[in-house]
Amino acid sequence: MRGISFDIAHMLAGTLLLLSFLQLYQDRLYALLNVFALHALALALSVAWQAYVQDAPHLYVTALIALVFKAVIIPVALHRIIVRLGIHREIEKVVGVGTAMLVGMGLVALSMVVMLRVTAEADPLAREDLAFALSVVLLGLLMMVTRRNAVSQVVGFMSLENGLVLAATGAKGMPLVVEISVAFSVLIAFIVIGIFLFRIRERFDTVDVQALDTRRGERQ
Amino acid sequence: MALIVDFAVQGAQMLLVLLLAPLLTGLVRRVKARFLRRRGPPLIQPYRDLMRLMRKDVVLAENASWLFRVIPYLVFAATWVAASLVPTFRTGLLFSWSADLIAIIALLGSARFFQALAGLDVGTSFGGIGSSREVMIASLAEPAMIMVVFTLALIAGSTQLSTMAGYMLSPEVGLRVSLGLAALALIMVAIAENARIPVDNPATHLELTMVHEAMVLEYSGRHLALIDLSASLKLLLYVSLIACLFSPWGLARPDAGAEALAIGTVSYLVKLAVGGVLLAIFETSIAKMRVFRVPEFLGAALMLGLLATLLLFVSRSL
Amino acid sequence: MTATLALSCTAVLLAVAPLAIIIGRSSSATPVVYGLCLVASVVAFVAAVVHLLGASVQVRVTLPLGLPWLGAHFRIDELSAFFLAVVNLGAFAASLFALGYGRHEDAPSRVLPFYPAFLAGMNLVVLADDAFTFLVSWEFMSLSSWALVMAHHRDPDNLRAGYVYLIMASFGTLALLLTFGLLAGPDGGYAFADIRNEQPSAPLAALVLILTLVGAGSKAGLVPLHAWLPLAHPAAPSHVSALMSGVMTKVAVYGFVRIVFDLVGPPAWWWSMVVLALGGITAVMGVLYALMQHDLKRLLAYHTVENIGIIFIGLGLALAFKAHGMAFAAALAMTAALLHVFNHSVFKALLFFGSGAVLTATGERDMEHLGGLIHRMPQTAFVFLVGCAAISALPPLNGFVSEWLTFQAILLSPQLPSWGLKLLVPGVGALLALSAALAAACFVKAFGITFLGRPRTPVAARAHETDRLSLAAMFFLAALCLVAGILPGLFIDALAPVVQAFVGARMPVQIGVDWLSIVPIAESRSSYNGLLVFLFMVISGSLAAAAIHRLASDRLRRAPPWDCGYPDPSPVTQYSASSFAQPIRRVFGTVVFRAREHGAMPPPGDQRPARFEVELRDPIWDALYAPIAIAVGFAADRLNRLQFLTIRQFLSLVFAALVILLLVLAIWP
C-alpha cells in the first residue's frame, strides 16, 4: 500500500497544487499562460501515472487530450489572440498577492478538513489525493473571482477543470472519463471563443464577418 | 579513540568550510562570467582578494565607534560557528548536539543583526538604506526558514541536523509533498539570505540595487576581508545545508571508516560544484526584482513553508 | 516562615509609603526611600527563591483584616514563589536604578510615596489566597501605578494617559470581580481553597475564561485591550515604566495562570484555541506597532505587548496539552512560558533603564532627535546593546532559550487530536516566527537610531554618561541576561516545581546533563548548549582577531566617511526612525495600519523645505475604542437630561422606583 507509486502520485498532485499557487502569484499574462501550460502538463503526467498504476489504458487517452489540447493548443492560441487583439498584458487584481495567497492557504486547509472527515472509511492515500484535487478546484475558483482580466478568468476555469479531472482519475473505476474530458474541453473552447466574440463586438460594434472584412489591412 | 577521531573530524570540518568558502564564490563568479561570454577571474581570485585586503590599512570613518571595529569579528565568529555545525562529509559531528538547526538559524540572525547595526554606525544614508532593506528582507526570510525547519523536524523527528541528515539517508523517507515544498522554500530563502540575484546583486555599485553592499560600504582592509569571508561562508553553509538535507547520498555515517570518509569528501566537493554551477546559471538567467517585489517573493516562500507544515500536521504521510 | 518573611517585607514597604510623605521635602528622602525598598525587595527575593528551591511546604497565613467573616488569607506556594521572585528582582533593580536616577526627578514628592505602595501592591497580589484580598491588592496596585503615571501631570499627554489607564484598569477589575463572583458560586466561599473545591459547570467555566482574558489580559496588554499600555507606560518615570512593563504585566499573567490553571478546574480543549489565537495576534500586532514608533519609551511599551503575546502562546499550548492529557508536553510549554516571563522582566527592565538614562542625559525621548550617543554614553550603550540582543532572541543570551523552548513545544503539537488545533498551531507558529524576526528589526532601529550614527540635535551632542548606581543596576541585569542564556538548565530546574504543581509533570532534570546542555525532551531529539555556543563564538572571534593582527596587519587610520565619495556634512541626511521603518511600513503597514505617505515637494528654485507626512491609523482604536467612546458619550448626553427635570418629575421618578420594587417583591416567588 505504502510505496513509491503512491508517493509519485502524491508528488504529482502536490505539483499541481503548487502550480495553482504559482498561477495566483503571476501578474503578467504571458507568464500566466506558461504556468498554465505547465499545469496541464503536470495533469497529463498525473493521469498517465494513474493509467499505469491502475492498469486502465483509456486514461492514457485522457492524458493525451490534456497534453495536446490544454498544454499546447490552448496556450498557443490564447497567446496569438492576445497579441492580435492587443489585450492589456498586466493582470489587474482585486486583492493583493499576499491576501490571495493567505486565502488560498485557508482554502487548502478547508478542503483537507472536509475531505478527510467526509471520506472517513475510504483508503487513506486516495483521500489525500482527493483533498489535493478539491484544493486545486477551489484555487481555480479563487483565481476567477479575484481577477479582472477575462483571459485570466478563463485560465482559472481551465485549472478548475484540471482539478476535476484529477479527482476523477484518482477515484478508481470512474467510467466515461475520456468522454467527459472531451466534452469539457469543447465547452472551454466555446467559452474562449465567446469571450473573444464579445471583445470583437465591443471593439467593432459587430461580429458580422462581412462587415469586419472591410477592416482588413491589406485590402485596397 | 573514537573521541579523538570525532574531534579530528569536527576540526577538519571547521577548516574545510573555511578553506572552501572563497573557492565556491570564485566558482560562481567564473561560471557567471563564462555565461556572459567573458573570460572571468581565476577560481582562486577570492583568496588573493582576501590576502590583499588583510594586508591593507583599515581606513575608519572619523565617527565610527568601537562597535564598528568589533562587528566584523562578531559576524565572522557567528557565521563560522554556524557553518561548522552543518554536516558536509560526515553526519554525527561531535558538537552537533550543542546547536540544532533553529540555533544555527538564530546564529545567522545574530550575524545579520550586527551587520545591520554596522550599516547604521557611521551615519551615512547608504548604510541606512542597506540596513533598512536588509531587516525588511530578514523579517520575511527568517519566518520562512523557521517553517522549513518545522517541516523537516516533523518529518525527521528531531531538530538536530545530524539526525535529520541521517534520516534523509535512510530508506524510510520516501518522496513526500511536504519535502518538495520545503525544498523549494529553502532554495528561495537561501537566495534571499545570500543576497543573490533576483533579490540583491552581489556585484553592484548602484545605490538603487544595493542591500548587502550598502551596509558594508564603509568597511575596508581586514574588516572588509572578514565580512567578505563571512558572506562566502554563509553561501557555503546554505549550499551544504541543501545538499545534506535534500541530496544526502554519499554522506558518511558516524561510525564510518576512512574509505567512507573519502567518498563523503569527494561527493561533498561534487555537490558544492554542482550547486555553484546551478546558482550561476540561475543568476544569469533571471533579472533582479524590484525591491518591493522581494516581500512578495519571500511571502510566497513563507506560504510554501506554512503549507508544508500544515500538510504534515494534517496527515503524517504527506 | 517564608510567607511571614514575605509579608513582613510587604508591611515594611507599606510603612515606607507614609514615611515618604513625612520626609518628602528633605533632600535625603530619595536615598532613604529607595534604599529601604531595595532592602525589603532583596529580603523578599531571597525568601521567594528559598521557597522555590527548597521547601515545598505551602505556608498559609491568615490575618484579621478585611471582611469580618473571611479575614485576609495569604499563602506562598510554588507559583507565588516564582512570581514573587520575579516581582522582587525587578523591584530590586528598579530601586537600585532609582537611587541614581531619582536625583534628577523634579517632583519627588509625587513619586516617592507611591513607589513603595506600588511594590507592596504587587507583592500582595501574588501572595493573596482569597478573592477579596486579591481584588483589593489588584486595585491598590492599579491606583498606586496610576498615581505614578500622573506624577508629571502638567504634560497633557500624561493626563490623557492617566485617564485612559484609569478607565481600562477599572474595567479590568470589574471583569475580575465578575470572575471571582462566578467562581465563588452562590454560596460565596471566597477563599481560594474553597473555590478550588467548587467545580463550575462547563458554560460557567467558559465564561470565567473569557472574563479572565478580559480582566487579566487587559492588565497584561493583550490585543485588543492593550490601548492603555503604550500611553501609560511611557508617561511614568523610567524606573516605574520598567516595573510596569516588566513586572506588573507579569502579575497580570500570574492572575491568569492562577485562575485558569488552578482555580477553575480541568480546562476544555477549545480554551487553548482562544488563548493561542489571541497570543499570536498580540505578538504580531505588538511588534508592528512598535516598528512604527519613534518615541523610544513608547516603542518599548508596544514591544511588551508582543512579549506578552509570546507568553500567552506558550500558555495556550500548555492548556491544549493539559486538556488532552499530554502532561509532558504541557510541562515543556509551560516552562517555556514561565521562563519567558522571567527573561522578559529582566531585559525589558534593562531597556527601560537605558531609555531613562538617555532621557536624563539629553531630555529627549524621541529617537529622531538623538544619535551618536555611543560616543557620549559608552557604558549605557553597551548594556542597552546587550538588552537589545537579548530581546531579539539572539544566542547565546536568554531570549533565545525561551523562544527555542516554545518552538520545541510547537513541534510536539501534531500529536494533538483535535482538528481546530491542528490547523491553528502551524499558523500560530508562523506568527511567532514572524514576530521574532520583526522584533530583531525593531531593535536594530531602536539601538541604531538612538546610539549609532551622528547626533541629530545639539542636546544629543552634549549628552553625558549616567551615574554609577544606575549603571550598576543595568550591568547587573545585563549579566543576568548572559547567565540565564549560558546556564539555562539552572532556571529550568528552578521552574520544575511550579510546572509540576500545575500540569502534573515536569521537564527532565537538566542539572546532570553533560556539558550543561538543555534537553527538553530527549537527547536524540533536540538539545541546546548555550555555554558551548558562547565559548565557540568567543574563541573563534578571538582566534581570528589574534591571527589577523599577528600575521596580517593591525594598522588603522581615521578619515572622513566614504559614502561613495559624496559625504554629506549634515547629520540630518542620515536615516531617521521613520525612514528606517519605511520598507517594513510599506510591506506590512499599508495593510494593517492603512499607512499612507504624502510628500509635498516645492517647485525647483523654491527654497522652502519639502514636507513628508506619514499617516497611520490604529485599526483597533478605530474599530473598537472610538465607537464605544462615542456610544458612551451619546448615552451620557442623553442621561444628562436627568439633571434638568422639574421637582414634580423627580418626585415621580422616586414614586416609580418605589412602585417597581414593590411589584418585584410581590411577584418574586
pLDDT tens digits, residue range A175-188?
666 677 777 777 77
Query: What's the whole-number average pLDDT of chain C?
Result: 89
| Structural domain count of chain C | 3
Q: Are residues C140 and C278 in the same domain?
A: no
Encode A77-114: b = buried (16+ Cβ within 10 Å), e = exposed: ebbebbeeeeeeeebebeeebbebbbbbbebbbebbbe
**Is residue C63 included in any domain, yes or no?**
yes
**Is residue C320 included in any domain, yes or no?**
yes
* Most confident stretch, A53-62, B155-164, C354-363: C354-363
Q: Are residues C41 and C123 in the same domain?
A: yes
Q: Are residues C288 and C434 in the same domain?
A: yes
More confident residue, A2 or B61: B61
Q: Are residues C252 and C285 in the same domain?
A: no
- Scanning the structure block, which residue is given the C-alpha cell 544614508? B125
Q: How many residues does chain C have?
A: 669
**Is residue C663 included in any domain, yes or no?**
yes
Identify the band that residue A1 occupies on the pLDDT scale cut at 50, 70 and 90: very low
Burial class (CB in 10 A: 0-12, 13-18, 19+), C490: middle
Q: What percent of chain B has pLDDT over 70?
A: 98
**Is residue C502 included in any domain, yes or no?**
yes
Residue A73 C-beta-side C-alpha neighbours within 13 Å: 12
Determine phi and psi for C108, rounding to 5 degrees.
-65, -30
State the complex-level ipTM. 0.94
Q: Are residues C504 and C444 in the same domain?
A: yes
Q: Are residues C479 and C343 in the same domain?
A: yes
| pLDDT tens by residue, C51-75 | 888 765 667 888 887 777 778 888 8
Strand partners, C366: C295
**Is residue C552 included in any domain, yes or no?**
no
Read off the C-alpha cell for B118: 554596522
Contacting residues for A33 by C-beta, under 8 A, at least 6 apart: A75, A78, A79, A155
Query: Which of C501, C523, C539 is the endpoint of a domain?
Result: C539
Which chains reach chain B with 3 or more Cβ–Cβ distances below 8 angstroms? A, C
Identity (one letter) of the amino acid at B314? Answer: V
Strand pairing category for B58-61 and C556-559: parallel
Query: Which of C505, C539, C573 is the endpoint of a domain?
Result: C539
Gap from A98 CA to chain B (nearest CA, Å): 7
Query: Which of C191, C225, C256 is the endpoint of a domain?
Result: C256
More confident residue, C457 or C508: C457
Residue A111 has pLDDT above 90, yes or no: no
CB contact under 8 A, B317 and A25: no
Q: What's the confidence (pLDDT) of residue C392?
A: 95
**Is residue C612 included in any domain, yes or no?**
no
* Beta carbons of B27 and B277 less than 8 angstroms apart: yes
Burial class (CB in 10 A: 0-12, 13-18, 19+), B209: middle
Q: What's the confidence (pLDDT) of residue C21?
A: 83
Residue B281 has pLDDT above 80, yes or no: yes
| pLDDT tens by residue, A154-183 | 888 889 888 988 888 876 666 666 677 777
| pLDDT tens by residue, C578-621 | 999 999 999 998 888 888 889 899 999 888 888 988 888 889 98
CB contact under 8 A, A7 and B314: no
Q: Residue C518: helix, strand or coil by DSSP? A: strand
| pLDDT tens by residue, B31-64 | 999 999 999 999 999 999 999 999 899 999 988 9
Q: What's the confidence (pLDDT) of residue C564?
A: 80
Q: Are residues C245 and C306 in the same domain?
A: no
| pLDDT tens by residue, C179-222 | 999 888 877 788 888 888 888 888 889 999 999 999 999 999 99
Report domain extents, chain B: 2-314
Residue B12 has pLDDT above 50, yes or no: yes
Q: Are residues C137 and C250 in the same domain?
A: yes
Residue A211 has pLDDT above 70, yes or no: no
Residue C559 has pLDDT above 70, yes or no: yes
Contacting residues for B53 by C-beta, under 8 A, at least 6 apart: B220, B221, B222, B224, B225, B228
Read off the C-alpha cell for C31: 536615598
Q: Are residues C330 and C458 in the same domain?
A: yes
Q: What's the confidence (pLDDT) of residue C190?
A: 84
Q: Are residues C629 and C511 in the same domain?
A: no
More confident residue, C483 or C110: C483
Torsion angle, alpha carbons of A121, A174, A14, A124, to 10: 10
How many Å is the Cα radius of gyration of chain B?
A: 19
> Whole-model pTM?
0.90
> Mean pLDDT, to the nearest integer, of B275-302?
91
Chain B residue set in contact with A, beta carbons under 8 Å: 174-177, 180-181, 184, 295-296, 299-300, 303-304, 306-307, 310-311, 314-315, 317-318
Q: What's the confidence (pLDDT) of residue A210?
A: 62
> Mean pLDDT, to the nearest integer, of B66-74?
94
Q: Are residues C281 and C194 in the same domain?
A: no
> Mean pLDDT, to the nearest integer, of B136-161?
92
More confident residue, A203 or B77: B77
Q: Residue A147: helix, strand or coil by DSSP? A: strand
Task: Quote the domain boundaries for residue C357.
Answer: 266-539
* Beta carbons of C345 and C246 less than 8 angstroms apart: yes
Is the torsion defined by CA of C558, C562, C563, C568 positive or negative? positive
Q: Are residues C113 and C184 in the same domain?
A: yes
The DSSP line for C424-435 is HHHHHHHHHHHH
CB contact under 8 A, C423 and B306: no
Distance, CA of C80 to CA of C333 (rounded, Å): 19
More confident residue, C447 or A149: C447
Query: What's the whole-number average pLDDT of chain B?
Result: 89
> Mean pLDDT, to the nearest integer, of A203-211?
62
Q: What's the confidence (pLDDT) of residue B6?
A: 82
Best probe of the A interface among B187, B293, B311, by most A CBs < 10 A, is B311
The DSSP line for C565-582 is G---S-GGGS--HHHHTH
Identify the band that residue C267 occupies on the pLDDT scale cut at 50, 70 and 90: confident
Report yes or no: A98 at the C interface, CB cutoff 8 Å. yes
**Is residue C566 included in any domain, yes or no?**
no
Residue C537 has pLDDT above 50, yes or no: yes
Report yes or no: A111 at the B interface, CB cutoff 8 Å. no
**Is residue C583 included in any domain, yes or no?**
no
Read off the C-alpha cell for C67: 471582611
* Beta carbons of C423 and B313 less than 8 angstroms apart: yes
- Scanning the structure block, which residue is given the C-alpha cell 551615519? B123
